[in-house]
Structure 1
Amino acid sequence: MLQTDAILPEIGFGAVCSGLDLTRPLSPAEVRQVTGAMDRFGVTMWRGTGMTDEDHLAFSRNFGYLERTPKREEGQRTRLPYRELFDASNLDLEGEITRDPAAIEYRKGDRLWHTDSAFLTRRTSYSILLAHQVPQHGGETWFADTRAAYDDLPAETKALLEGKVGINSLWWSRKLAGADISEEEIDSRFKAEHPLVHVHRGSGRKAIFIAAHTMDVKGMDKAQGRQLIADLIAHITQPQYTFSVDWSAGDMVIWDNLCTMHRGGEYDTAGEKRDMRRTTVREGTEPHTLDMGDDPYTALFAASPQSVDINRARDAGR
């Protein structure tokens, strides 16, 4: 039986959970316990899971189709054994700290407030991150509650946001993090559109859907739209809506991208290893769906700007 051991901030956003053996198949009732906790808290943390890569995938498939990393050429090596595992690490193919400039530049964007896969046409619901090796100092993950933040907006701001659509690009967030990418390059590549406010299906509450990937607001003057984006992110990430998770090897955290934002914490990326592996569940898909007949990441990364082209980097597969 799932147990809620601690609710993290006083507002009831985020919980430490236990009571389920995540290394074995879950019953339908146990899956409903997990989704119920996610609908309530937005983020759940599970300490010392003992999960392998295979356990990680099997558990994640309870919640829908798992996105896949770009296809590799025949015989090309990757660090992780399954395409459903996204490498959120600072490691190369040999498991050593990467020195590749493109990989280093690309990863800087993870430390901006964002939602996973907002730059794709079909959004991600759950992200499920498992720690294999963590740095001695730093490397925490921060989370923000976009439902409570929406609730607290002034009525006039809520009215302004009604019907507004954000334009999202993976490469915009990398530019914000310091990568040498021009706006002309970004504009020539794929962008996804999503409402800035939506009703979170699991709770029936409205939530803001915005992050570092959101570069413009459709139909708004560029400067005004970007100021609105910056103001919203600043509002959502105030202390009363945020908390951080400190990791130990074997810990797993699930977060719902449709009612949260997150960012990675700082650590010595050149001196300490951090091996984190993530599955991402596509919104609105059925449990245990193994193939959706598409592969958006392959096309997306095939058009990577040179400064963050991890497809061609020595430690490709990230």
Structure 2
Amino acid sequence: MTATRTAPYEIRRASPVLGSEILGVDLVGGVDAATAEALREDFWKHKVLVFRGQNLSPDAHVQAVQIFDEPFDHPQWLYRHEDNRLVYVFSLEKAGTAATWHVGGTWRNPPFNSESLTYQVVPEIGGHTLWADLQAAYGGLSEPFKLLLESVNAVYSAYPGDGTYNRPPVTETIEHPVVRAHRRTGRKGLFLSSSALRLTGISPAEGEALLPFLLAHASSPNYTVGFGWKPGDFVIWDNQATWHYAVNDYDGPREYRKVIGG
């Protein structure tokens, strides 16, 4: 990793494409307006920000997310923290269905702006999380292919889950364009998740051929970064510019909390 300095904290980039660790920021005590604005600008640029050893309480976790987005109150989440209903708790032995490339909130329009985690218990070995830059993946396509994708949508279940547990049989669906202009920067990127049921705007046969290609292309190592975790770490990512994968290579408990930015 190479480190660069920007007031009032240090950015340690994890790859040339996306993902950085932020050093010198105490989220527990809150940040001033200038620091908050600088963090937002770095969030749009780096897309995945990691803050080590923060040990955020549920309330402090929500306040940290408010630097970047308004927290989202999930309509059907069963496992909420008793101290703050906007904090969703997970206690896992395995990553489960999160061990696929996925985007949160494909059941709604717009999808979630961001997602964040704080870690309480992590495996001694393994349990990394990967992110891939969907904007860089789009940039790696040819111009004729980009033009084709402008008229293509992906179909998803409209059941309000988060992609990390089994859903009931699909009854209602929702569509999202597979090319999305970013809400802040305007930069175009792919937008898709492994839970996509099919593509529209092209023939079924074309969709059956195109969807596997897009999924494989967007998860190429060329566009990917990974982070490992220790208790107390906090990570927040741009859910409309990246997708992520929880590596299922560990044994034992893994406990974390999630706050969603809507």
Residues 223-252 of structure 1: CA deviation (Å, up to 9, x unaligned) = 432432221121111111101110001111
Letter in 2 for 1:124: F
Does structure 1 residue 145 correspond to structure 2 residue 133? yes
Question: Shift of the alpha carbon at 1:144?
Answer: 0.1
Question: Shift of the alpha carbon at 1:7?
Answer: 1.1
2:85 is matched with 83
> Are 1:199 and 1:206, in contact at CA under 8 Å, matched by a contact in 2?
yes
Runs of 5+ consecutive residues of structure 1 not aligned to the other structure: 91-96, 98-103, 283-318
> Are 1:195 and 1:209, in contact at CA under 8 Å, matched by a contact in 2?
yes
Q: Distance in 2 between matches of 1:119 and 1:83?
A: 21
1:111 is matched with 99
Question: Shift of the alpha carbon at 1:33?
Answer: 1.2
Does structure 1 residue 169 correspond to structure 2 residue 149? no
Letter in 2 for 1:260: T
Residues 4-58 of structure 1: CA deviation (Å, up to 9, x unaligned) = 43211133x1111122210123222222111111111111111111211111012
Letter in 2 for 1:89: S
> Are 1:170 and 1:213, in contact at CA under 8 Å, matched by a contact in 2?
no
**1:21 aligns to what SS in structure 2?**
coil
Does structure 1 residue 273 correspond to structure 2 residue 261? no
1:56 is matched with 61
Out of 223, 248, 253, which is 2:235 matched to?
253
**1:9 aligns to what SS in structure 2?**
coil
Structure with the larger strand share: 2
Structure with the larger helix share: 1
> Are 1:7 and 1:14, in contact at CA under 8 Å, matched by a contact in 2?
yes
**1:10 aligns to what SS in structure 2?**
coil
Runs of 5+ consecutive residues of structure 2 not aligned to the other structure: 1-6
> Are 1:70 and 1:83, in contact at CA under 8 Å, matched by a contact in 2?
no
Does structure 1 residue 244 correspond to structure 2 residue 233? no
Residues 199-239 of structure 1: CA deviation (Å, up to 9, x unaligned) = 11333311111011221222333343243222112111111
Q: Quick check: 2-11 or 140-149, which moved more?
A: 2-11
Q: 1:79 to 1:43 in 2, by over 3 A?
A: closer
> Are 2:40 and 2:67, in contact at CA under 8 Å, matched by a contact in 1?
no
CA RMSD of aligned residues (A): 2.7
Identical-pair percentage: 26
Q: 1:227 to 1:179 in 2, by over 3 A?
A: farther
**Given the two structures, how large is their TM-score scaled by the length of structure 2?**
0.87
Q: Distance in 2 between matches of 1:254 and 1:180?
A: 25
Letter in 1 for 2:259: T
**Given the two structures, how large is their TM-score scaled by the length of structure 1?**
0.72
Q: How does 1:224-243 map to 2 (within 5 A)?
A: 224-243=206-225
Q: Distance in 2 between matches of 1:234 and 1:276?
A: 28
> Are 1:126 and 1:256, in contact at CA under 8 Å, matched by a contact in 2?
yes
